[in-house]
């Protein structure tokens, strides 16, 4: 019983991270479950199943909060579905997720540093909405969808980080639009794998509490994403990218060079992710009512 509650709490935490910052559900929930002692193969199947349900609720929540922009969602979702199906049906047998992970990790780490710099400089606070060109959204959806299918994750980090760093819409609209389009991409990838491979290794006693925890928190995460100032949200996104991808890059460098480099454990990663999530809560409170003696954060819109 206590283990089921722990899984539900983990799913809720993972959804808060993903729903408020546009990425991190798979990485966060999988890391928590593996650290709790569950087998990685069972965790992967359960997380992807649960994510199909949580992305649906998260997408609707962002839509109701006014975070999603159809001019971003439609081209991103359409190209993402195509990329996801191609990745799941063809590319997964030709390209190894382990082979692409270091490259993707390095790119996302650099994007995280760039977003963090832009946020501190105040360049992410923008009133421009829905001006992202289709020449960016269409290929981005294809790449992010394919990488997500091949590598077992990557839609949120690739799509959110690229669009936030492009800085043609407010961070909350990007997070909301990426979250809404993620449902269609996740569903298409899951159905493709079911069609090609069949349903195997699904551990429902993990999946059900995982998705229930995520569904309950999804509206809260969407609210936080809407209310947190753009600068604070940009800082959180940048830090999350750096935290989630630094270990991948360090591990690859250590393997390629033979050097012994310190790499953070799952527990350390989760503590850092928790601190970033706490930063969003503090930023939300400061934006609603300035604490005496403190400086109120600049609004995102």
Distance CA 125, CA 261 (A): 37
- Residue 94 predicted with pLDDT over 90: no
| Three-state helix/strand/coil letters over the chain | CHHHHHHHHHHHHHHHHHHHHCCCHHHHHHHHHHHCCCCHHHHHHHHHHHHHHHHHHHHHHHHHHCCCCHHHHHHHHHHHHHHHHHHHHCHHHCCCHHHHHHHHHHHHHHHHHHHHHHHHCCCCCCCCCCCCCHHHHHHHHHHHHHHHHHHCCCHHHHHHHHHHHHCCCCHHHHHHHHHHHHHHHHHHHHHHHHHHHCCCCCCHHHHHHHHHHHHHHHHHHHHHHHHCCHHHHHHHHHHHHHHHHHHHHHHHHHHHHCCCCCCCCHHHHHHHHHHHHHHHHHHHHHHHCCCCCCCCCCCCC
What pLDDT does 224 receive? 92
What pLDDT does 290 receive? 46
Q: Over range 114-132, report the average pLDDT.
A: 72
Distance CA 150, CA 215 (A): 26
Q: Give the residue with greater pLDDT, 92 vs 3.
A: 3
Highest mean pLDDT (candidates 33-37, 148-152, 180-184, 198-202)? 180-184
What does pTM read for this prediction?
0.84
Whether the CB-CB separation of 240 and 112 falls below 8 Å is answered with yes
What pLDDT does 49 receive? 80
**Confidence band (pLDDT; 50, 70, 90) for 42?**
low
What mean pLDDT value characterizes the chain? Answer: 82
Q: Where are the domains of the chain?
A: 2-288
Tell the residue number behind the tokens 């993990």, with chain if given: 206
- Residue 90 predicted with pLDDT over 50: yes
Distance CA 154, CA 158 (A): 6
Q: Poorest-confidence range of 3-12, 76-85, 126-135, 275-284? A: 126-135
Distance CA 178, CA 156 (A): 7
For the beta carbon of residue 190, count every other beta carbon within 10 angstroms: 18
Distance CA 228, CA 93 (A): 42
- Residue 145 predicted with pLDDT over 60: yes
Q: What angle do CA 96, 139, 101 make, to 5 degrees?
A: 25
Q: pLDDT for 183-218, tens place per residue?
A: 999 888 888 877 776 666 556 778 889 899 999 999
């Amino acid at each position: 019983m206590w283990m089921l509650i722990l899984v539900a709490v983990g799913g809720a935490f993972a959804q808060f991270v993903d729903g408020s910052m546009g990425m991190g559900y798979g990485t966060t929930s999988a890391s928590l479950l593996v650290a709790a002692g569950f087998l990685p193969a069972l965790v992967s199947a359960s997380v992807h199943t649960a994510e199909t349900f949580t992305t649906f609720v998260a997408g609707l929540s962002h839509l109701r909060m006014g975070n999603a922009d159809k001019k971003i969602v439609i081209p991103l979702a359409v190209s993402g579905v195509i990329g996801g199906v191609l990745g799941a049906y063809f590319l997964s047998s030709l390209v190894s997720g382990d082979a692409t992970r270091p490259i993707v990790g390095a790119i996302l780490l650099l994007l995280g540093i760039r977003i963090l710099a832009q946020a501190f400089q105040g360049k992410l606070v923008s009133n421009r909405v829905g001006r992202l060109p289709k020449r960016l959204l269409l290929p981005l959806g294809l790449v992010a969808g394919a990488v997500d299918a091949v590598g077992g994750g990557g839609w949120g980090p690739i799509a959110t980080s690229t669009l936030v760093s492009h800085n043609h819409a407010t961070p909350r609209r990007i997070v909301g639009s990426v979250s809404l389009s993620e449902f269609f991409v996740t569903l298409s990838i899951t159905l493709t794998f079911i069609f090609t491979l069949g349903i195997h290794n699904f551990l429902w006693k993990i999946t059900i509490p995982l998705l229930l925890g995520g569904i309950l928190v999804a509206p809260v995460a969407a609210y936080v994403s809407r209310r947190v100032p753009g600068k604070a949200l940009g800082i959180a996104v940048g830090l999350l990218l750096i935290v989630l991808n630094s270990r991948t890059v360090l591990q690859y460098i250590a393997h390629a060079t033979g050097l012994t480099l310190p790499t953070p454990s799952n527990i350390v990663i989760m503590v850092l992710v928790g601190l970033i999530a706490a930063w969003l809560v503090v930023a939300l409170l400061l934006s609603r009512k300035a604490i005496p003696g403190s400086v109120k954060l600049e609004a995102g819109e």
